[in-house]
Amino acid sequence: MKTYFIFVSVFILFAVPKSVSATNKGYEVVSKLTKEDIALYAKEVNGLYRDFKIHFKGEVYARPFWLSVANNPTYAPIIYYEDINKDKKKELIIILNKGYGTGVLQEEVYVYRYTNGLIDVIVDNPLAIIYKNVKTKLTTEKAEIILGDKVSIIDTKSIEPSHLFEDIGFGSIIEYEVINKNLMVRVSCQITPAMSVGDIIITYEYRDKMYQAEAIEFITDINKNPFYGPVKD
């Protein structure tokens, strides 16, 4: 449930197998999957987790430049270990939260496959996907979202005109989850600093050596939004 650049390079994280006790002085466990022998360690500094280490099945991978909020368990780092690309091998997915507040939720996702070490696989930026595929228009009468051949219109007449943005904004809320073994992201469609007219939901697939959009939906009904629980008919 984040200017952007898309890199198409794939690299192997530096791994040094060491004993846990020797590598974790000053660190704390911030997330773990005990049964899978996977844990995420970090140092807490001024309300942020920094200088991360991934302990993956006896190997240690340093991620010194990662950041995640540390002062709220609700937004703690999340680890998934699931087959999200249908190759019958599990991938490691780590979600970090870089900030939250009223109308704000900033998450980042990292995906790894394992071949003689963890290999970072690029996930296409959701904002780039939206700007390529979604057209919008916002006036004092309506908000309009065009996705493919589907046009969605939301009435805005009841909203104070001075509160409205010039156009529908994306990026204040970016939330990732693995749902039914699919990597997905929710991006809110903001028309004021505190008001959204719905969410863009992107489902990723592994294609051309990276995770790209397989499906894009605009959803206004939370009962049909997978990020708010089981979808109701």
For 96-133, the pLDDT digits (tens) are 999 999 889 999 999 999 999 999 999 999 999 999 99
Question: Given CA atoms 5, 110, 204, 232 in this order, what sign does their dihedral have?
Answer: negative
Cα angle 224-107-205, degrees, rounded to a multiple of 5: 60
Over the chain, what is the mean pLDDT? Answer: 91
Q: What is the pLDDT of residues 20-63, one digit of tens each?
A: 444 578 899 999 999 999 999 999 999 999 999 999 999 999 99
Region 78-106: mean pLDDT is 96
What pLDDT does 153 receive? 98
**What sections of 24-145 are H helices per DSSP?**
126-133
**How would residue 18 be classed by pLDDT, with cut points 50, 70 and 90?**
very low
- What's the mean pLDDT in 138-166? 97
Per-residue pLDDT at 5 exceeds 50:
no
Has residue 174 got a pLDDT over 90? yes
Of 84, 41, 90, residue with least CA distance to 66: 41
pLDDT at 12: 42
Q: Which residues pair with 108 in a beta bridge?
A: 96
Give the pLDDT of residue 17.
44
Per residue in 186-217, pLDDT (tens digit) is 999 999 998 999 999 999 999 999 999 999 99
If you search the block for the tokens 């198409």, which residue do you land on? 8
- The whole-number pLDDT of residue 196 equals 95
Q: Is the pLDDT of residue 1 over 60?
A: no
The single-letter code of the amino acid at 84 is I
Structure confidence at residue 26 (pLDDT): 87
Task: Using the Cα atoms of residue 45, residue 48, residue 53 and residue 57 in order, give the sign of their dihedral.
Answer: positive
pLDDT, residue 25, reads: 80
Do 191 and 168 contact (CB within 8 A), yes or no?
yes
Predicted local confidence at residue 4, as pLDDT: 38
Q: Give me the pLDDT at residue 23, please.
A: 57
The 8-class DSSP code of residue 123 comes to B
In this prediction, residue 71 carries a pLDDT of: 87
CA–CA distance, 1 with 218 (Å, rounded to integer): 15
**Size (the chain), residues:** 233
The answer to whether the pTM exceeds 0.85 is yes
pLDDT, position 103: 87
